[in-house]
């Protein structure tokens, strides 16, 4: 009987698309508003969407204008026990509701304020729940801290691969060596230094990395998006992500009129910096008013989109491959399992091999031809590359729109109706184990964070050793250890 059970487990594990993943995708597609159920939509067809933590370490040691944290966030103590408990509970619910595999961000305040061991434990917990974690940081930490996160006490890697997203922009205050940067260019050495730590990590310990570069955009630095794009493209980052500022969080730090920074204007500046058109219409996550996304390869300085929306052959290949293989998971899978998945997928749809080969040939031509690709490969000048814009919404619209959605009502106001449509198509979810619910990230930051951080301030006061009696709504109570929090400055 044990042999039969093992064979059944192997058969299930090596299916091209796991039944639980397929069911989660089907639910996700059915939940999407009709206006985003388009051929280029990836949610519900190949991806469940992104996920993030909340209330796990709200405190940050930089000050930014704007800042999306509520006014009480920096009055909450960083506590490893609380973080580990909350991450475990939130990831468990996400696993139950969204399937066995997804990308999730370890996000809150500043992740490097956690001890290295607590940071590593949180990442291990996320992986245990089938999540591919990404640590969100301002990047102002040293190589010693990174090594302590990635390596155990004996110097053995805890992970074979890590993902970090570092936020750099001139709106941030308090970075060591650039306390009040006067331009984006002033931060380029810090961006390069951060990325180099991960190059060194792979060279010295064999631990690979995926790096994202984040930047908030306001009227004061919109004109520098192009130059920053050019600079960062020469650094070993895999993703460039830009966020037009929104009126969310601590209103004491709202210094400008953000309305003039539209998603279209930011994308135009990115294309200017990249020196070419970036086809984003071929693939979409959620609502195009919220997200722009172009992914592909950078070959010797030239970006080659995975799907060029202007080419009908690309669109046809996308539709066929998504219909047959959308939801097939490659990350976090052993080589024997992955190879068996691919063999079974090919056996089921053998003609798709020709479709894929033809698609690769078109990408090679767009890259400049086979000789250019081979030359770039020899010089290690080929890497994955993605360009992203996340366009957040103002709290003044999110709060009333969400209140109506909670009542099952549709607003007659055009702006609130648009907000409801965008919330319904949100690609970024946060979980509340206390209520068993998932909420869009904009709702979390605009509606739920302020009250949550007030309660967390009572649970985890900055004065170590204080007792607590409060329990935030939707959070699992974890008593503090009384350990002093790590300070960098």
> Pick from 94, 20, 82, 81: which is nearest to 52 by CA?
94
Q: Does 48-308+382-459 carry CATH code 1.20.120?
A: no
CA–CA gap between residue 125 and residue 89 (Å, rounded): 10
> Pick from 76, 49, 14: which is nearest to 347 by CA?
14
CA–CA gap between residue 219 and residue 266 (Å, rounded): 10
Residue 222: pLDDT over 90: yes
Give residue 31's pLDDT: 94
Q: With contact defined as beta carbons under 8 Å apart, do 235 and 383 qualify?
A: no
Give residue 58's pLDDT: 94
- pLDDT band per the 50, 70, 90 thresholds, residue 472: very low
Over its C-alpha atoms, the chain yields an Rg (Å, rounded) of 23
DSSP-derived letter for residue 444 is I
Percent of the chain with pLDDT strictly greater than 70: 94
Give residue 1's pLDDT: 61
Report the range of poorest mean pLDDT among 115-119, 261-265, 352-356, 479-483.
479-483
pTM over 0.75? The answer is yes
Q: Give pLDDT tens digits for 85-104.
A: 999 999 999 999 999 999 99
Tokens of 251: 């209103």
Count of H helices and E strands in the chain? 16, 13
**Mean predicted confidence (pLDDT) in 369-387:** 94
What integer best gives the mean pLDDT of the chain? 91
> Pick from 397, 54, 429: which is nearest to 246 by CA?
397
Give residue 466's pLDDT: 46
More confident of the two residues 20 and 258: 20
Give residue 469's pLDDT: 37
Q: Give pLDDT tens digits for 307-359.
A: 999 999 999 999 999 999 998 988 778 889 889 999 999 999 999 999 999 99
CA–CA gap between residue 462 and residue 460 (Å, rounded): 6
Give residue 236's pLDDT: 96
**Mean predicted confidence (pLDDT) in 196-203:** 98
Residue 470: pLDDT over 70: no
User: Which of helix, strand or coil describes residue 251?
Assistant: helix
Give residue 435's pLDDT: 95
Give residue 8's pLDDT: 87
């Amino acid at each position: 009987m044990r042999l039969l059970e093992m064979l059944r487990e192997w058969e299930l594990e090596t299916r091209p698309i796991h039944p639980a993943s397929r069911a989660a995708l089907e639910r996700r597609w059915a939940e999407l508003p009709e206006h985003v159920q388009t051929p280029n939509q990836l949610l519900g067809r190949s991806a469940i969407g992104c996920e993030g933590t909340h209330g796990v370490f709200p405190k940050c040691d930089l000050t930014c204008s704007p800042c999306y944290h509520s006014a009480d966030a920096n009055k909450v103590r960083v506590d490893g026990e609380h973080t580990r408990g909350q991450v475990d509970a939130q990831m468990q619910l996400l696993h139950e509701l969204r399937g066995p595999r997804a990308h999730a961000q370890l996000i809150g305040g500043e992740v490097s304020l956690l001890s290295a061991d607590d940071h590593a434990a949180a990442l291990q917990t996320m992986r245990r729940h089938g999540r591919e974690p990404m640590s969100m940081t301002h990047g102002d930490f040293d190589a010693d801290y990174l090594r302590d996160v990635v390596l155990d006490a004996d110097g053995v890697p805890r992970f074979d691969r890590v993902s970090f997203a570092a936020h750099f922009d001139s709106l941030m205050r308090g970075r060591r060596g650039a306390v009040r940067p006067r331009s984006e260019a002033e931060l380029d050495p810090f961006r390069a230094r951060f990325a180099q730590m991960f190059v060194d990590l792979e060279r010295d310990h064999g631990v690979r990395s995926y790096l994202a570069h984040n930047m908030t955009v306001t009227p004061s630095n919109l004109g520098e998006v192009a130059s920053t794009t050019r600079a960062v493209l020469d650094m070993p980052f895999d993703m460039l992500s830009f966020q037009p500022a929104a009126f969310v969080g601590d209103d004491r730090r709202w210094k400008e009129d953000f309305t003039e920074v539209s998603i279209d204007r930011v994308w135009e500046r990115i294309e200017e910096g990249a020196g070419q058109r970036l086809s984003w219409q071929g693939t979409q996550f959620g609502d195009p008013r919220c997200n722009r996304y172009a992914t592909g390869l950078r070959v010797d300085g030239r970006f080659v989109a995975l799907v060029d929306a202007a080419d009908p052959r690309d669109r046809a290949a996308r539709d066929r491959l998504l219909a047959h293989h959308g939801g097939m998971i490659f990350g976090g899978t052993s080589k024997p399992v992955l190879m068996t998945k691919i063999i079974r997928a090919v056996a089921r749809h053998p003609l798709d091999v020709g479709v894929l080969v033809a698609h690769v040939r078109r990408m090679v031509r767009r890259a400049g031809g086979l000789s250019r690709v081979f030359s770039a490969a020899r010089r290690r000048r080929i890497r994955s590359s993605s360009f992203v814009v996340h366009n957040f919404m103002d709290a003044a619209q999110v709060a009333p729109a969400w209140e109506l959605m909670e009542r099952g009502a549709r607003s007659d106001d055009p702006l609130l109706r648009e907000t409801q449509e965008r919330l319904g198509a949100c690609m970024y979810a946060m979980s509340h184990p206390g209520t068993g619910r998932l909420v869009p990230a904009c709702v979390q930051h605009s509606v739920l964070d302020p009250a949550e951080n007030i309660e967390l301030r009572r649970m985890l006061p900055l004065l170590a050793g204080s007792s607590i009696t409060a329990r935030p709504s939707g959070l699992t109570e974890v008593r503090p250890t009384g350990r002093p929090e790590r300070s960098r400055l």
